[in-house]
Amino acid sequence: MAHKGSKDDSTLCQICNNDNAEMFCAFCESKLCKICVGSHIAEDPQKHKIVKHQDRKRTVVLPKCASHLNERCENFCKECDTPVCSYCVSSDSHERHKFLNILDIFKKKKEIISNDTDELEQVIMPSYEGIIKQVESEEKKVEKEFETLLDNMEKRRKVWHQEIDDIVDAMKKNVCDMKMKQITAQKEHLQTLKTLLTEVQESILLNRNIIESPNVSNSLTYTNKNPSLKRFPSKLEISVPCFQPQEIKREMILQMFGIITGFSISEKEGGYMLKK
Ligand SMILES: [Zn+2]
Ligand SMILES: [Zn+2]
Ligand SMILES: [Zn+2]
Ligand SMILES: [Zn+2]
């Protein structure tokens, strides 16, 4: 029986339990002291395989037979794909089967495992390391690209703010021009009316003077200005413009502001290759 962990490193003899097991039986996988070796191999000296304790890790341990519990398998049945002991070899259940030396199989298996390990070490592991490096650099790239994207949106926000400022500035300038025109027109109109009023007042004074004058000529040269003074200038009509804000259509603004495109997240089979 194989032991696990620290128990495997102990040097307790499995027969007398003394802490001086210097020997090892590769057939039974048991630790033995020199004294107990004799009794251990007594019943079948050829079967047991005694080596020094320190050599036990270099000693081949054959597999136990599944059918004959006290036997080890020196052969391998090709047809049954299983290790077989000497009893199996001559039994009916393996009649006319082909047997291979288990040590040859062992050697070949080790070669295969060694090749597999070489492949793991020289091809598969470096491939993974390369892929991880690539993904790590892509991770940084993604972060950078998002930073740029957000920067671009921020720039766009500033452009739009500036655009709104420019539009409002231009509209206000336009409105101020309108205001100037209307105020000027009103002032001019008022001035015209005031001038006419003055003319009316002057006519009244002139007329009174004529009325009170004893001079006949004055009355004879009198001209009636009333018809022209009764003709009022055209009435100035002014309409002050008003600002009519339009409904804010968010969908339309979004379309005009810009759209986010090209987002995807998916998995591609066969996207990674073995390093050559
Ligand atoms: Zn012993
Ligand atoms: Zn033994
Ligand atoms: Zn057997
Ligand atoms: Zn067989």
Same domain, 50 and 79: no
Of all ligands present, the nearest one to the C-alpha of 40 is 2
pLDDT for the residue 171: 97
Q: Judge whether 73 lies within some domain.
A: yes
Segment 172-180 long-range contacts (CB within 8 Å, at least 24 positions apart): 175/241, 175/243, 178/241
pLDDT for the residue 8: 62
* 50 within 8 A of 21, measured Cβ to Cβ: no
The CATH number of whichever domain residue 45 belongs to comes to: 3.30.160
The CATH number of whichever domain residue 96 belongs to comes to: 3.30.160.60
Same domain, 180 and 208: yes
* Run of H or E residues at 267: none
- What is the Cα 76 distance to its own chain's centre? 54
Same domain, 188 and 223: yes
Between the CA of 97 and the centroid of ligand 4 the distance, in Å, is: 5
Between the CA of 180 and the centroid of ligand 2 the distance, in Å, is: 120
Same domain, 163 and 229: yes
Same domain, 156 and 182: yes
pLDDT for the residue 99: 96
Q: What is the dihedral of CA 269, 270, 271, 276, to 10 degrees?
A: 160
Same domain, 23 and 79: no
Between the CA of 230 and the centroid of ligand 2 the distance, in Å, is: 148
Q: Judge whether 269 lies within some domain.
A: no
Length of the chain: 276
Q: Judge whether 111 lies within some domain.
A: no
Q: Judge whether 123 lies within some domain.
A: no
Between the CA of 67 and the centroid of ligand 3 the distance, in Å, is: 5
- What is the Cα 276 distance to its own chain's centre? 29
Q: Judge whether 214 lies within some domain.
A: yes
Who surrounds ion ligand 4 at CB < 5 A? 77, 79-80, 94, 97
Of all ligands present, the nearest one to the C-alpha of 45 is 2
Same domain, 82 and 169: no
Q: Judge whether 247 lies within some domain.
A: no
Same domain, 157 and 223: yes
**How confident is the prediction along the chain (276 residues), in pLDDT tens digits per residue?**
444 444 566 889 999 999 989 999 988 889 999 999 999 998 888 888 899 988 888 888 899 999 998 899 999 999 999 999 999 999 999 999 999 999 999 999 999 999 999 999 999 999 999 999 999 999 999 999 999 999 999 999 999 999 999 999 999 999 999 999 999 999 999 999 999 999 999 999 999 999 999 999 999 999 999 999 999 999 999 999 999 999 999 999 999 999 999 999 999 999 998 887
Q: Judge whether 90 lies within some domain.
A: yes
Same domain, 48 and 94: no
Same domain, 184 and 210: yes
Give residue 92's domain range. 63-105
pLDDT for the residue 62: 92
Between the CA of 82 and the centroid of ligand 3 the distance, in Å, is: 10
Same domain, 141 and 234: yes
Q: What is the dihedral of CA 138, 139, 145, 147, to 10 degrees?
A: -160
Same domain, 175 and 234: yes
Structural domain count of the chain = 3
Between the CA of 1 and the centroid of ligand 2 the distance, in Å, is: 11
